[in-house]
Amino acid sequence: MTGAAIRDAHEADFDGVVALNAGEERQTSPMDVDRLRHLDALADYHRIVEVDGTIAAFLLAMRDGRAYRNANYAWFAARYATFVYIDRIVVGARHQGLGFGRLLYHDLFEWARSRGIGVIACEYNIVPPNEPSRIFHRKFGFREVGSQCSDDATKQVSMQVAQI
């Protein structure tokens, strides 16, 4: 991870974040700059990993109580009083396997601990399967607490939480 720096995302980063997201839409969801502005306004945590002036990865998350219209966020909100929801984490293809996802998760977990938030929530695809995400989340202590279909039943997601 030499030359990598984690920092808060800024509006000047949005084009790069959107481009990174576009490369992984099959595992996440589409996002243009307007959508990112909206998500950023709701987010409590939006950080990037920058390598030599290039955005290599980002993580966007929001706490409970946000006015976020999203079926997965609503699922967790109906079951947990206090949580932080990972809306998306994306590591660019040329930077995968370098530990940037781990770096962001360690940072997010520390951020949540410092605020007394004991539950980290997320989901990942099980139809179509996202095996790398399953393996990654297991290493951080996530466990399945449910599942649901989304995107007109073209996707099924595993609802995951980690207690910290």
pLDDT of residue 151: 64
Region of 153 (left: φ > 0; alpha: ψ -120 to 50; beta: rest) is left
The structure's pTM equals 0.93
Range of the domain at 55: 4-163
* Residue-wise pLDDT tens digits, 52-86: 999 999 999 999 999 999 999 999 999 999 999 99
The separation between CA 117 and the C-alpha centre of its own chain, rounded to angstroms, equals: 16
Looking up residue 159, the CATH number of its domain turns out to be: 3.40.630.30
Domain count for the chain: 1
Q: Are 62 and 68 within 8 A, CB to CB?
A: yes
Nearest 5°: the CA angle 73, 22, 68 is 20
Is the confidence at residue 29, as pLDDT, over 90?
Answer: no
C-alpha 163/C-alpha 148 separation (Å) is: 21
